[in-house]
Amino acid sequence: MRASHNTPASLDPRLGGRSLRRVVFDEATIARRVSELGAQITDSYPDGDLLVVGLLKGSMIFVSDLVRAIRRPLQIDFVAAASYGAGTTSTGTVRLVYDPETRLDGRQILIVEDIVESGRTLSRLLEVIRTRGPRSLAVCALLHKRIATALQEPIRFVGFDAPSEFLVGYGLDHAEDYRHLPYIASI
Ligand code: IMP
Ligand code: MG
């Protein structure tokens, strides 16, 4: 089944009868944008190595689509940072629960994040990664709520400006549910 703006999201069997407020970005819209981001990233790294570091778990689906749209050699790693519990508001603390063992010194690094809200998760992660001496460090976020105050620098690659609603799907969760929805919806 393909969810689109024409398909009432409440009919999606993935939801188990729960309802969504609305589909914000459908599958085709996401696929188009991911392909554009891939081309933009390809053009931005004409030479050297590239290490794509996805922030678990939210970025896993985005990373897997994005890397297939980047037409140059690259490597993939993941890091996990937990800033939210089961609720829909930030607790303000960011815990790094896994560090990549991969060497980062002298490398071109692209951090991939699902959604930027306060920017706390990212700024903490960037701080840690910077101490490891990468040659360059940039961020690609699928969604940006444009309310981040914790970020020192702008995010280089942004998929979509996100509405100030709580979004789920395409990797984004609410209490670990909804990550497998192929579209992005608000609840
Ligand atoms: P920040 O640290 O406040 O920028 O929050 C970023 C993290 O919070 C993301 O990596 C998500 O895991 C989570 N988050 C923020 N907004 C949403 C949302 O609308 N839906 C699902 N998760 C969100
Ligand atoms: Mg999350």
pLDDT value, residue 148:
81
Residues lying with their CB under 5 A of ligand 2, a single-atom ion: 58
Question: Taking a C-beta distance cutoff of 8 angstroms, is the pair 107, 134 a contact?
Answer: yes
37 lines ligand 1 (CB under 6 A): no
In this predicted structure, the answer to whether residue 87 has a pLDDT above a threshold of 80 is no
Q: What confidence tens digit (pLDDT) does each residue in 92-106 have?
A: 566 676 666 778 999
Q: Report the percentage of the chain scoring pLDDT > 90.
A: 69
Give this prediction's pTM. Answer: 0.89
Amino acid at 30: I
pLDDT value, residue 103:
86
pLDDT value, residue 128:
85
Query: Distance of alpha carbon 14 from its chain centroid, rounded?
Result: 21
56 lines ligand 1 (CB under 6 A): no
Residue 150 — very low, low, confident or very high, per pLDDT cuts 50/70/90?
Answer: confident
Q: Tell me the pLDDT of the chain averaged across its residues.
A: 89
What angle is formed at CA 184 by the lines to CA 43 and CA 108, rounded to 5 degrees? Answer: 30
Question: Taking a C-beta distance cutoff of 8 angstroms, is the pair 28, 86 a contact?
Answer: no
β 157-161/167-168 pair status: unpaired
Neighbours of 88 (CB within 10 A): 13
β 75-82/51-56 pair status: parallel
118 lines ligand 1 (CB under 6 A): yes
123 lines ligand 1 (CB under 6 A): no
pLDDT value, residue 173:
97
Q: 97 alpha carbon to ligand 2 midpoint, in Å? A: 13
Q: 93 alpha carbon to ligand 1 midpoint, in Å? A: 12
38 lines ligand 1 (CB under 6 A): no
Burial 3-25 (b: 16+ CB within 10 A, else e): beeeeebeebeebeeeebeebbb
Atom of ligand 1 nearest to the CA of 162: 19
In this predicted structure, the answer to whether residue 3 has a pLDDT above a threshold of 70 is no
pLDDT value, residue 1:
41
* Torsional sign, CA 113, 144, 3, 65: negative
119 lines ligand 1 (CB under 6 A): yes
Q: What is the mean pLDDT of residues 101-116?
A: 92
- For a pocket test of ligand 1, which of 59, 83, 155 has the largest count of ligand atoms closer than 8 A to its C-beta? 83
